[in-house]
Amino acid sequence: MPQTAPAPAPAPAPNEIHQLRLDHLAAFLRESERILAAWNTYSNQHTDPDGWPYDDDAYGRRASQRDADTADAFEAVREQAHHLLATAEIQLAALPARTVQNRWVWQLGTLRDALDRLDALHEHWLQTRDSLPADARPGTEVFDDALAVYHAEAWASLEDWATHGHAVVDIHTAARHAPSALAPKPTTTAGLAPGQRSPARR
């Protein structure tokens, strides 16, 4: 007797997809915080009281590692970031004014500007990568140097996402707890006993 193919899994609902995107953002925020804390510890231990590195080469290599680690952590968010921002902007516009934090508007603007810069830098990196010699591969000096430049240029914008990305999560949380405009307010009918229906209108 032929076996029937298993039914395909149902597609995730839009709210489930958005929650997955938020989970990726939350993971980036945690990881970027860890990366920055490790960098600050290193920097404090390897610079003099005026902030000058004891070893410029070692310090530069460690900064490049910070940049690369932050870029890798953001990779799961990068292609979803436009959706996250668009949803946050819609949610923010629908929130009651009393629930809105003043900083959210400019934080979303900061994230939008940073994302535009990251998009431009990523496109430039793809063009640079494609223009490298045919034998340039990860691990070769010419490839790794070009990649390090890309990561260094992207780091400040990634830091904007690490610093202000929590606003997207905060807006989502506020939207979940805000009264829905589609839900009717509960009403009571004067003069009716509990459980008694009001007469139908003619």
Domain ranges of the chain: 17-177
For tokens 């959210």, what's the residue? Answer: 104
pLDDT of residue 141: 96
pLDDT digits (tens, 9 = 90+) for 18-73: 999 999 999 999 999 999 999 999 999 999 999 999 999 999 999 999 999 999 99
Regarding predicted confidence, which is higher, 166 or 10?
Answer: 166
Of the candidates 111, 104, 105, the one whose C-alpha atom is nearest the C-alpha of residue 84 is: 111
185 pLDDT exceeds 60? no
The per-residue b/e assignment along 174-195, b for 16 or more CB within 10 angstroms, e otherwise, is bbeeeeeeeeeeeeeeeeeeee
Q: What percent of the chain has pLDDT over 90?
A: 77
Task: Please state the rounded mean pLDDT for residues 96-108.
Answer: 94
pLDDT digits (tens, 9 = 90+) for 80-94: 999 999 999 999 999
Model-level pTM? 0.80
β-strand partners of 47:
53
The answer to whether 175 and 95 are in contact (CB under 8 A) is yes
182 pLDDT exceeds 70? no
Regarding predicted confidence, which is higher, 200 or 76?
Answer: 76
What does the radius of gyration of the chain's CA atoms come to, in whole angstroms?
Answer: 25
Amino acid identity, position 30: R
pLDDT of residue 30: 98
C-alpha distances in angstroms, 42 versus 33, 45, 146?
14, 5, 24
pLDDT of residue 106: 97
pLDDT of residue 15: 81
Q: How far apart, in whole angstroms, are the C-alpha atoms of residue 2 and residue 143? A: 53
